[in-house]
Amino acid sequence: MIEGNPIINNAFTEPTRHWHFSGVTPEVRDGRRTAGYLAPSPDGQLKITDEVIPLTQVNDLRDRVRQWRADSYMGATTVTRDLFRHWFDDERIASTSRPFFCQQEAVETIAFLVEAPDHLKVGVDVPPSGEPYARWAVKMATGTGKTMVMALTIAWSGLNKVINRQDARFSDQVLVVAPNLTVRDRLTGAGGLNPKHPESLYVEYDLIPPQHSGLLGQVRVQVMNWHGLAPKEDPKRSVVKRGRESDAAFCRRVLTDLSSTGRILVLNDEAHHAYRFPPDALASGADIDEMREATVWIEGLERVHRYRDVLRAIDVSATPMYPGMFKDRAWTPFEWIISDFALVDAIEAGLVKIPRTPTADDAGEAIPRYRNLWQHIRKTLPKRSQAEAESHPLMDYLAEADGPLKQLASAWEATFAEWDKAGRQVPPAMVIIAHDTTVARLLEKHIAGLGEASPMLVNPKDGSKVTIRIDSDALQKAEAGEGSGIAEATRQIVATVGKPGKPGEQVRCLISVAMLSEGWDARNVTQILGLRAFSSQLLCEQVVGRGLRRSSMSDLTQPEFVDIYGVPFQLLPMAKATGGKPSPPPDYTNVHSVRDRGELRIDFPRLVQVVPDIQDTLDVDLDAIEPIRIRPRFDPTETYVEFDLGSPHGGMGGVTQDRTRAYENFRIQRLLFRVAAGLIQPYKKPWLFPQALRIAQHVIRPVANGGKIEYAEGVDPREVCNLRYLTLIRERLSAALRPGEGPERFLPALDEYQPIGSTSALNFNSPTDKCVPTVKSHLSHAVVDSGLERKICAVLDAQDQVQAWVKNHKLFLEIPYLYFGTTYRYRPDFVVRMQNGLMVLLEGKGEPEEKDDAKATAARRWVEAVNAWGGLGTWVYHICYDATMLEAELRRLSRSTPSSSPLA
């Protein structure tokens, strides 16, 4: 580890030093870091890159504004100089009311572009945004105080206009557009932007100098959710009334808190949502909700401009960047950025928590396992295709996630103990970002129900919650003011996490698929676990940003940390800046469950194994069970986390994290009972439990004592609590079961967490060239891997005997099978429900391969087990070798009754 503190600058003055990383050992150099951004990967995927593209305009304006400041703001109005002298007086630092330098520079840059003499602005030409009014963007890392910048801008523009009504450069009518209700409520309440609120930012931080006191009340400020800019709807037809409401009527309806005349200053909070999407966005698979938000936001402001005249719009955001739908500009910054204070600058100034990521562990790999967990989850999969590799079995997912989850939860427990000892009122919080809604529900049961991460994260039986799973769709509706009472209650909890006396005060763990609401300002996040794919550095930074706000601003020289597993973000540029434009990413299509097609929903069983039926005796071939080897190389037992400086000599603030607290919470009897219960689960014969428990007791002990658990040297025996090893124990016990007397029958061992799968609530993106629109499927598209599959899709949509069908992609419908001693999982291509109720597992196959025979055998055994269980109707397995024959084959299946259907 490199000695020293990463905080090397004063938060109230311009940075004078920066960490330099191009050499072997990072070093502190004099001068300010050049503003720039990491170049996106040419193929649109997340890859570590050392190419930094400079923000030329920002760097130029920094130099000009610095000189303007030194020249006492030449050309500025008396009001502006009064405000700047008052705000940026160093004597205010002791009272913590002085704005930080990043806030100062942002508002100074805005004022420079408006007030500085023309000769100081020669060569400055902020690129247009495509709007009919000027638009400038201020880029500031999460946690550095964007709300203060808006308050300073409002006071600067409003007071200048109040004192000199003839000066057309300013406005005292300010419209603040927020991304959701959570942000709107924060901006209108205590500590917000309403000049008339007794506890506004202007009062709290003494922003109005004595000679101008009382004048701010003449400034009109309206804070609104972007949803309020939507066109008026026709209540009779429930469709949008486009073109009927005039711009004048629109402004009278929308601008309720502003005067009826006068130019308007617009402040776009979290402005990366406000842009004009490209004409070919639909073809590129853009997210429909994202496009709607951008359209409503930007077109609503255009209507305001046509009637009232927008003086200028100021965007404030940590990530003002184009989304992936922009082919030639994906993941690049808006061209109209005028000021930038990046995350690494904020860390060096002590304004935010310092992210610590894994840099070493005891698994023996070059890259720590918990650095990018998704890569390891994907490695467990049989990669028949890239599309399949992006899916995963539920138990495989959980087995890969359980180790890092327990380890991070152990770190959270240690933090909780420290905070409790210090007398803090609120607990620390851990945020978990899941792959999709199915997995989020799985994790909720694992953590809040079964207590597998920590007993301190289990939800009490009195109905209160310390661990909450966030329904992203419901929360999004609530943020738009359209949610149910339950959704609104959840929004209130999420919005107040870590706030004393509020509904979310005691929340300790949040599980979500989305990145949580923009503007989410919880200051008590201390651990973040990413259990999903991350396609861009923008996405990584947005996730990390949820944990950056400091819990205390009293001493900015003392670092605070947030520990991050599974989010492979690159914080620091490691090479000199270069020029050039990145190549565009591939096109993607959004695949989702269609709400209006609920009748096409398909349910299916999720099996972890097919087991032989037995009578009243459990007969297990113990000699056939291979030892379960517990090794750090399978899952590290210790991980070293630190502020990564990209150096072989290490980083700063490093600590070793392990599963000690998980071991302390471990109870061998609970593990034995769980294994025994799982062994007899398929049989519905509870009287077999004592036999199963004796078998579990025999197996779950060290090999030296006659058991089947083999520990590496130095590994704590309680490491067997890791779900990875519990899964292996279950699989090998079930495989060693011997069938009872009589005809051979099979039964399904259903997934413990999600026994029944469904086509509901799916939403993911897939390459456009693999997506086929559907008619009779609950999903909007089928993701296909071959021409044969495309033809099958067409037949299924056209065939009258087919009631509903779905392509088996990201459904987790899998069939375990054995091939040359190794267990794989086979995913049949389609699930089809016939008009007569028969369920068909349909496989499209060209030339058969040797492995396909093993798959077919396993599929027929799967069908036999599911039919013996009988919980979801009658199933058959069918292979289609020629799409031209499929119609006749489906007609043959439709003529059979579900109870006597032929197996193909």
Question: What is the distance between the alpha carbons of residues 297 and 274, in angstroms, rounded to a whole number?
Answer: 6
φ and ψ of 837, to 5 deg: 95, -10
- pLDDT reading at 22 higher than 70: no
Helix, strand, coil fractions of the chain, as percent rounded to 5: 35, 20, 45
pLDDT at 270: 83
**Higher local confidence (pLDDT), 733 or 536:** 733
- Structure tokens, 788: 């044969």
Same domain, 643 and 701: yes
pLDDT band at 237 (very low <50, low <70, confident <90, very high): very low
Given CA atoms 181, 182, 184, 185 in this order, what sign does their dihedral have?
positive
Q: Is there a contact between 306 and 260 (Cβ–Cβ < 8 Å)?
A: no
Residue 231, domain member (yes or no): yes
DSSP track, 791-833: HHHHHHHH-TTEEEEEE-SSS---EEEEETTEEEEE--SEEEE
Give the CATH number, domain containing residue 360.
3.40.50.300
The highest-confidence range among 335-349, 616-630, 854-868, by mean pLDDT, is: 335-349
Whether 15 shows a pLDDT value over 70: the answer reads yes
Task: Tell me the pLDDT tens digit for each residue of 551-570.
Answer: 998 899 999 999 999 988 76
> pLDDT value at position 49?
53
Predicted local distance difference test score (pLDDT) of residue 46: 46
- Domain shared by 776 and 813, yes or no: yes
Q: Does 590 or 520 have the greater pLDDT score? A: 590
Contact 305, 263 (CB under 8 A): no
Report the distance separating Cα 566 and Cα 431, nearest Å: 12
Tell which of 320, 348, 376 closes a domain.
Answer: 348
Same domain? For 197 and 142 the reply is yes
CA–CA dist 885, 203 (Å, integer) = 77
In a domain, 60, yes or no: no
* Structural domain includes residue 573: no
Would you state the pLDDT for residue 476? Answer: 73
Write down the pLDDT at residue 352.
94
Q: What is the C-alpha to C-alpha distance for residues 381 and 371, in angstroms, rounded to an integer?
A: 19
Q: Are residues 165 and 303 in the same domain?
A: yes
Read off the pLDDT band of 326 (50, 70, 90): confident
Query: 463 and 550 share a domain?
Result: yes
Q: Which band of pLDDT confidence, cut at 50, 70 and 90, is reported for residue 578?
A: very low
Tally of CB atoms within 10 A around 795: 18
Candidates 779, 730, 720; CA nearest to 751 is 730
Residue ranges making up the domain that contains 500: 356-565
Q: Are both 630 and 779 inside the same structural domain? A: no
Of the residues 348, 378, 412, which one is the last residue of a structural domain? 348
State yes or no: pLDDT of 182 exceeds 50. Answer: yes
168 in the same domain as 316: yes
Q: Are residues 362 and 499 in the same domain?
A: yes
Q: At what angle do helices 181-188 and 472-479 cross, to 10 degrees?
A: 40
Cα(9)–Cα(650) distance, integer angstroms: 21
Tell me if 35 is assigned to some domain: no
Name the residue with tokens 């938060």: 11
Last residue of a domain, one of 713, 743, 773: 743
Q: pLDDT value at position 239?
A: 44
Instruction: Please tell me the distance from the alpha carbon of residue 740 to that of residue 732, in angstroms, as a whole number.
Output: 18
Are the CB atoms for 120 and 177 separated by under 8 Å? no
Tally the residues of the chain.
Answer: 904
784-799: average pLDDT: 94
pLDDT digits (tens, 9 = 90+) for 394-441: 677 788 899 999 999 999 999 999 999 999 999 999 999 988 787 888
Q: Number of structural domains, the chain?
A: 4
User: Which tokens hold the place of 870?
Assistant: 């009988």
Instruction: Say which CATH number the domain at 879 has.
Output: 3.40.1350
Which 8-state DSSP code applies to residue 748?
E
Do 795 and 739 reside in the same domain of the chain? no
- Domain membership of residue 842 (yes or no) is yes
Pair (370, 487) in one structural domain: yes
Is 247 within a domain?
Answer: yes
Q: Is the predicted pLDDT of residue 392 greater than 60, yes or no?
A: no
Pair (391, 442) in one structural domain: yes
Higher pLDDT, 753 or 796: 796
Residue 848: pLDDT band with limits 50, 70, 90: low
Identify the CATH number of the domain in which residue 133 sits.
3.40.50
Residues 274-297, mean pLDDT to the nearest whole number: 66
Residue 222 domain flag: yes
Q: How far apart are CA 138 and CA 316, in angstroms?
A: 5
Residues 507 and 597 in one domain: no
- Domain assignment present for residue 47? The answer is no
How many other C-beta atoms are found inside a 10 Å radius of the C-beta of residue 828? 21
